[in-house]
Chain A
Amino acid sequence: MRPPAAPTIPSLSDDVTVFREDAEDAVRIVSGMLRRGEGGEAFRERRRAISWSATEAGLQSPSIVEESGTAVRVSRGKDSLLVACDGDGAEPLRDAVREASRRAGGAPFFKSKAAGPRADDRGPSGPDEEGRATQIQAALARALPDPRGFSLTLAIARVTVSRAVVTARAFVPCGEATRLEATGVLRRPGSSRSFAFQSSAPFSAACDALAKALADATRPVPAHRAPEGKVDVVLSPEAASVFWHETVGHPLEAEGGERASVLARVPRAAVAPPGYFVTCDPTRRDLPGSYLADDEGTPARAVPLLDDGRVAGLLTDRRTAGGDSNGHGRCGDFRRPPRPRLSALIVSAGRASRDELLDACDAGLYVREISAGHTDAESGRFALFVESADLVRRGRLGAAVAPFLLTSDVLTALGGLWGEAGDVCAPASGLGLCVKRGEPLPVGGASPAILLRGLTAAPGRP
């Protein structure tokens, strides 16, 4: 039961050409900035989004946005400084280094150089963009063949983010990732729901996934209410990823000290049944949130979090682990300092078929989609918002139920895992952007179906 091999669907490009024009110069500048006893690096980011506002009638107003920025980070002892400014060329880097040095008491002098021509000056008018707009329009039409009695307000964007870190020794590309995002509100008479979607798949596949997600989201909400109180739950592979993200991923981010979270307090303890292996793997290029190096320039690597059911490790950055960072320092954008954040959680598959899991559940709920969740890592309490689920009666699927809330605490929930997981490991559907401290980051996951005993169900919509 080892984590499955990664499929080879490229969504992350290691060909980060946009920052290479002055890479050697940049390394020299960063190297000259740092004094004895100081650590630090420069971080460059470019973000380009072509987006559309959309309603049930189709695409409405287009927009194009390009932002770029440079941050210089310096740490000395327990203190650190970040200076950020617009632009990702040589001159913004010099500006940021000047300001950082001024604040640190130094006064480096750089000659200003004229900015060279920028790479990647593609406009929004190419045939590619027209074709993509047509594909999005077609996806909307497929999702809403008959929009009567229904309204939606969506922002759909194709976002490309390129990042690189310049250390005192080398230029380190973090990667260039492109994703399709959609956020907004879907309304029917008497009900409304928010909608969020993200896919790092190639554009056509992402449009197909968007059409499917929209079609699912626009189905009428079942009137049948989920049972309240203690309940056994089978989570589909798509929903299980959200569970792992909230209950294992966040509590094992090394923020707030070694004993700050319910799992960090029990290293090597058996918290789940044997046979469960959970790994945070930012190298899985088919999943959102992957990268080549983290936002501090540490190469990405897979970190086991649960090893045969035991707590195995923490996700660290340089601030929490110094030189032993395991490559999980991530920032929402160049203006924010990196913090330990998870990327994609991969859970090993077991041997149970879905029917066997339902049989073992006997009476409970089969959860198809979890739209959101949150965890208090200190106390271990978590909540999952279930958007789509069916009743399970005598081991068989029954009626669909209205949205509801699943709550428990991390140790109880992991202890209540059935000994065998499902036999198919599939990517998450409910994961996209993880917002922590107001900083959104793309995240992914892949998990088999799981059976959890003794969670608490409560009405989800007020």
Chain B
Amino acid sequence: MTPPDDGLFEELLAASASSHDGEGGEVYERRGTSLELAEDERGFHASVSTERGFAVRLFRAGRTSFAASGAGGARRLPAEARLLLARSRARRGVRELPAPEGALPPAPPGAPQRPDEIAARGLLVAFRRALASASDGAVLLAEAALTLGARTERIATTAGRDVSFGSAAATLVANVSARTGAGRASARVVAAAARPEELALARLAHHAVDRVLLPLKGRPLETGRYDLLLDPLVAAPVLARLARAFFGEDEDGLLGARTREGRDALASPALTLVDAAGAPGGLVRTTHDGEGTPQGRTIVLERGRLASRLTDAAAAHRLGTRPTGNAFRRAFSEPPAIGVTNFFADPSSGVPPLDLLRALARGFYAAVLLSRPQVEIAADRFRLHAAGYWVEKGRATDAVSETLVSGRLSSLLRGIEAVGDDLKFVTAAGGGAGSPTLFVPKWKG
């Protein structure tokens, strides 16, 4: 159902060029296709969807305007954006982008490949088996939905930038429930990957089982002082909430205040935070960002100290640096904003997680989050509602149904003594967030 290449993109680019001195334009096209297979007790549901959308941004003297629509209404976009441009306020650094250095001629955008439906059905069956095996039938799968998507994007500016690239994604969402003598619990668990074959089905099944059975079979843990071991699936959502602090210039002065303008460390030397579009196991695998800037690897926190920031073109211009390729377009209908690709704690200096477990003299291994973590950078506080296991001398002795791990965020980050080598990613902050197991000895709170 994807229309042929009809020259609409070139037409829009030509219409975005203006005789006004200093005015420039950018045209963006996204073509996408997705397949969702969902299975529940009422039957089987398939959704097939195609998308073709355009966006035009115009720039003049620091002002910008944005107009977007599907292919049907695209021809009006340059005129609409031009009308809006006069009402915009100027901001330093906002401008159209020239061709990146060493840019290759763009590959033809083409249509994204249709997802493989037979392979998708196989994945659903495999997950159902993995869940049955992991729970011995104690956990019911109320619904499973697998979504496979692929898209191609093209960005060109009147200043000569012309880039096109493609990407794919796979997501499996499962609603599971368990009923025991202790009560009932249900949960929604998600796994995502850059390709369907990379979906970690067995890991998702084990996570689903822990998520619904631990709250039913364990005992609550009172707050106190103990060693803390955070599973990657608990630590990654927390790190994801930190990502925003590294976006663009530090307008709120938050990180500057927390680190006395960089003189103090923000975290322990064990922690290095990186954003990399091509990270192994990462959920995002793209070559360019939403402005057509080539993506690479950016270290934002090196051995606990601030190193750099994630930027789009405008923020980089204001900071006087090169853009890091972190302009993110959630949809064709949204203007690009700074976001993450794969934002993760570097596990290269990590040790096997079993070694970290053995290091727990008396502590709590947080295996699953029971609700979204609350992280407030401004107030320097965090709170995790988690379930897991009580560990003594490196061995799990009791299941913990729930506990609150809370306190100062800076204390948690500075208290990380070691990281594992088991980097895992979750969907977060518009991209992927990853962490290995984190070890925080003698945590109080």
A115 to B45, CA, bound (A): 31
B79 near A82 with CB under 8 A, answer: no
User: Whole-angstrom distance between the alpha carbons of A6 and B175 in the complex?
Assistant: 37
Report whether A62 and B87 are in contact in the complex, using a CB–CB cutoff of 8 Å. Answer: yes
CB neighbours of A124 from chain B (8 A): 67, 80, 83-84
| Interface assignment of B118: CB less than 8 Å from any CB of chain A | no
A115 to B67, CA, bound (A): 22
Contact-residue size bin, chain A (C-beta under 8 Å from the other chain): 35 or more
Do B379 and A461 touch (CB < 8 A)?
Answer: yes
Contact status B72-A89, CB under 8 Å:
yes
Q: How far is the CA of A60 from the CA of B66 in the complex (A)?
A: 12
A118 touches B83 (CB 8 A): no
Give the Cβ gap from A448 to chain B, nearest Cβ, in Å.
30
Per-residue interface assignment for chain B, residues 336 to 379, with 1 indicating a CB less than 8 Å from any chain A CB and 0 otherwise? 00000000000000000000000000000000000100111111
Out of A61, A68, A78, A257, which one reaches B89, CB within 8 Å? A61
A248 contacts chain B at the CB level, 8 A cutoff: no
Contact A462 B142 (CB under 8 A): no
Q: Which residues of chain B are within 8 angstroms of A60 by Cβ–Cβ distance?
A: 88-89, 91
Question: Of the 9-residue stretches A25-33, A170-178, A346-354, A373-381, which lies at the interface with chain B?
Answer: A373-381
Q: Is B70 interfacial (CB-CB < 8 Å)?
A: yes
Chain B residues with Cβ under 8 A from A78's Cβ?
A: 42-44
Contacts of A58 in B (CB 8 A): 89
* A462/B72 contact (C-beta < 8 A), A79-B43, A82-B48, A84-B50 known: no
A256 within 8 A of B: yes
Q: Is the interface of A mostly helix, strand, loop or mixed?
A: mixed
A376 to chain B, nearest CB (A): 6
Binary CB contact string for chain A from 114 to 128 against chain B (1 if under 8 A, 0 otherwise): 010010010111000
In the complex, A188→B70 CA distance in Å?
A: 39
**Cross-chain contact B91 with A86 (CB below 8 angstroms):** no
Q: Which residues of B contact A257 (CB under 8 A)?
A: 41, 142
- Determine the chain B residues whose CB is within 8 A of the CB of A64 once the complex forms: 66-68, 80-81, 84
- 1/0 per residue, CB under 8 A from A, across B173-200: the answer is 1010100000111111000000000000
CA distance A65 to B378 in the complex (A): 33
Question: CB-CB < 8 A to A299: which residues of B?
Answer: none
Q: Which of A152-206 contact B (CB under 8 A)?
A: 187-192
Interface residue? B40 (CB, 8 A): yes
**Measured CA separation A85–B72 after assembly (Å):** 12
Q: Which residues of A contact B91 (CB under 8 A)?
A: 60-61
B67-A86 in contact (CB<8A): no
Within the complex, the shortest CB–CB distance from B206 to chain A, in Å, comes to 20
Asked if B53 is an interface residue, CB under 8 A from chain A, the answer is yes
Q: 8 Å CB contacts to B: which residues of A103-119?
A: 103, 115, 118
Complex interface bits, B47-77 against A, C-beta within 8 A gives 1, otherwise 0: 1111111000000000111111111110010
B-contact 0/1 string along A81-107, CB 8 Å cutoff: 111111101000001101100010000
The one of B52, B81, B383 that contacts A86, using a Cβ cutoff of 8 Å:
B52
B175 close to A67 (CB less than 8 A): no
B53 contacts which chain A residues (CB < 8 A)?
Answer: 67, 86
Known A78-B43, A462-B374; contact A86-B84, beta-carbon cutoff 8 A: no
- Chain B residues contacting A121 (CB-CB under 8 Å) are 76
A67→B69 contact, CB < 8 A:
yes
Q: Are A67 and B66 in contact (CB under 8 A)?
A: no
Q: A63 contacts B67, CB within 8 Å?
A: yes
Identify 9 residue pairs between A and B in the complex whose beta-carbon atoms are under 8 Å apart, listed by A's number: A59-B87, A61-B66, A61-B335, A85-B1, A86-B70, A121-B76, A256-B175, A336-B47, A461-B374
